[in-house]
Structure 1
């Protein structure tokens, strides 16, 4: 999720969720209701095994920032554990996430948000700074080797769109 140098304190909340959309909603509820500090991270993590589910983690520079998250989550009957479940979380809450709406450029994404790098699916090199990104107000970078990386894919007119779309079509939707 977050490298220790950036955010040394993290807590994982397991609410028994089965999908990313519900996990995103839980993160936004936690952030709004508990006044989480700016600069922290809220991520989703896919847990596999005999009980597949989606858990959320929140990370901060201060352990005290997470006290309300722990208390509220326990009061809801959720399982709370210290630390992040893995190092590859999908970031929902991060610095600048709310600024990435509509049409922007790769340069702007890197300047206003916690995103460290933008990659293009299937391309050897990264996009140029002036490359246009159509966000659809849904930008979900992932932690990769300690960097927050947004994977994008080519779109019409030489633009890019985030790889993860806000309203994905379910597999086999027409069957």
Structure 2
């Protein structure tokens, strides 16, 4: 990347469980919260599936430059019954707090990144070199050929929907072959992406 970023684990991460049932709902929650908080730079926001006997859904983690300031604002932005965790601070009912805690502790070991440094550059078709140089994504893998060396000029058809995942501390994007000799992210957007205007 052209500007430095701090990967999750460097500062406390906020976990949020607002009852999102799907990835799409969690993506929308992330974009809504970041817009209301007016946060754009230096943010990692990820989704985390959670499954227990009592609660199933998708929680989110927010790694932001000033977590204390965000912590103070979040309760007023979330629905009743939401759970929040920041280090030893908790807010909300027990089951929601447990899901939020799992999200707060997940990065950078796991999680699906929705917002991360440089994501705004990932529109249309970009080159492998631009994707790696201008965003926080550190590794690209092609499904079926994980050891393949990708030429820097290879094109990646983003479909304005690029969701890398944390794998062992490395933000990794899974790609697959696409028409016209291009590559495309393995996760495709919904036919009508909920957050297309946010990305």
Task: Give the TM-score taking structure 2 as reference length.
Answer: 0.76
Alignment of 1:7-156 (within 5 A): 8-50=11-53, 51-73=55-77, 76-82=80-86, 84-86=104-106, 87-123=109-145, 124-156=147-179
Structure that is richer in strand per residue: 1
Q: Runs of 5+ in structure 2 lacking a partner? A: 1-6, 88-103, 192-199
Match of 1:4 among 3, 9, 15: 9
Q: Partners in 1 of 2:72 and 2:36 — Cα distance?
A: 10
Cα RMSD of the aligned pairs, angstroms, is 1.9
Counterpart of 1:172 in structure 2 is none
Q: Runs of 5+ in structure 1 lacking a partner? A: 169-175
Counterpart of 1:158 in structure 2 is 181
CA deviation vs aligned residue, 1:117-156 (integer Å, no higher than 9, x gap): 1111111224221110000000000111111111110112
Cα 1:75–1:26 change in 2 (3 A) is closer
Please tell me whether the aligned partners of residues 36 and 65 of structure 1 are also in contact (alpha carbons under 8 angstroms): no
1:48: how far off? Answer: 1.5
Task: Give the TM-score taking structure 1 as reference length.
Answer: 0.86
